[in-house]
Every structure is written in structure tokens, then in C-alpha cells.
Amino acid sequence: MSPTRSLRPLTGIAALAMLAVTAGAAFASEFERVRPVTHAATQKECGECHMAYQPGLLPAASWTRIMDGLQDHFGENASLPADTAAAIRSYLTQNAGSGDGRLIRITEQRWWLRKHDFAPSIWTRKSVAAKSNCEACHRTAAQGLYEDD
């Protein structure tokens, strides 16, 4: 269930079949879907500083690295009590997607870069603030629905 990566190479028929499976949204063809976060601690703890990214957005190896390095989380101390961290780690790794496990940034994964190939000035808009702010453009990102715009 990794987002775009797996969709791109599919044939039209397979894509249609996928859409049928994930049907429900009126304009399914304009969305990419990822399973939403269903783990309360993950939602709460990750969601304090940024959108709680869905586990399917990174492979297990990346999540493991992230959870190993919370004391220096992209330059910030984001440490958690050990029991909370352990619960979040297992939720993320057990529901992980695919991708390059050497990269811990979602925004450096190949599928992500391919989907966001536009003018860099977009990222410095005040309403966007950072690449990590999915919801600035994908309004329903927190539900795992990424508008294809």
C-alpha cells in the first residue's frame, strides 16, 4: 500500500481494479490512498509537532532508524518515555510500506520526489512552511487521502 510508487507502473486495467477496491471517494481517481493512522499513541505523540505520517509512507527499516534516533530527530530532541516509544515503534514497523530503508525522510523517497517535481519556491510560502506539512496542499492527508494536485 505504498502510495504512488506502486500505482505508476500499473497497467490501466490493474489501476481500475485498484480503484474499484479502494472506491468510496466520489473522485477516487484524484486521490492516492494510504491506510490512516489507527494507533492512538502514534497519532498523539507524532502529531504534536507535525502531521502523524501514515506508517505506509516509509519502509520498516526507515521507521526503525527514526525510532532509534528520537534524541536527535531532524535536529530536535523528540525523546519519548520508553514504553510509549516501544509501542509506536512496533505499530510503525508492522504497518510499514516499501521504499529505500536507508532514507529516513519521506520527502527523499523516490516516489515522493517524482510526485513533487515543481518549483522550489512553493516550499517557502508561509502557508506551506516545510515539505513536512502535507496538509498545506493535501487537505485530507491526515486521513491518508492525498489529493493528486
Partner 1 sequence: MRPTKPILLLAAAVSLGAGVALAASGDPERARILDGYAAQAKAQTPGFAGFSAERGRALYLGPHTGGKVADTPGCASCHTRDPAGTGRHYKTGRDILPMAVSANPKRFTDPAEVEKRFERDCVNVLGRACTAQEKGDFITFLSNQ
Residues that bind partner 1 (CB under 8 A): 48-51, 75-81, 127-130, 132-133, 136
Cβ atoms of 132 and 123 closer than 8 Å: no
Torsion of Cα atoms, 147 then 9 then 56 then 21, to 10°: 70
φ, ψ of residue 146 to 5 degrees: the values are: -105, 105
Nearer to partner 1, 9 or 81 (CB): 81
The entry of partner 1, ligand HEC, none that residue 79 binds, CB within 5 to 8 Å by partner kind? partner 1
Query: Helices then strands (H, E): number in the chain?
Result: 6, 2
The entry of partner 1, ligand HEC, none that residue 64 binds, CB within 5 to 8 Å by partner kind? none
Tell which positions 18-57 bind ligand HEC, by CB under 6 A. 48-49
CA angle 121, 129, 113 (to 5 degrees): 60
Nearer to partner 1, 30 or 76 (CB): 76
Closest among 37, 41, 92 to 68, alpha carbons compared: 92
Counting contacts by CB under 6 A, is residue 81 touching ligand HEC? no
Nearer to ligand HEC, 10 or 74 (CB): 74
Cβ atoms of 24 and 7 closer than 8 Å: no
The entry of ligand HEC, partner 1, none that residue 121 binds, CB within 5 to 8 Å by partner kind? none
73: left (phi over 0), alpha (psi -120 to 50) or beta: beta
The CB-of-84 to partner 1 minimum distance in angstroms stands at 8
Nearer to ligand HEC, 46 or 66 (CB): 46
Residues of this chain that interact with ligand HEC (CB under 6 A) are 48-49
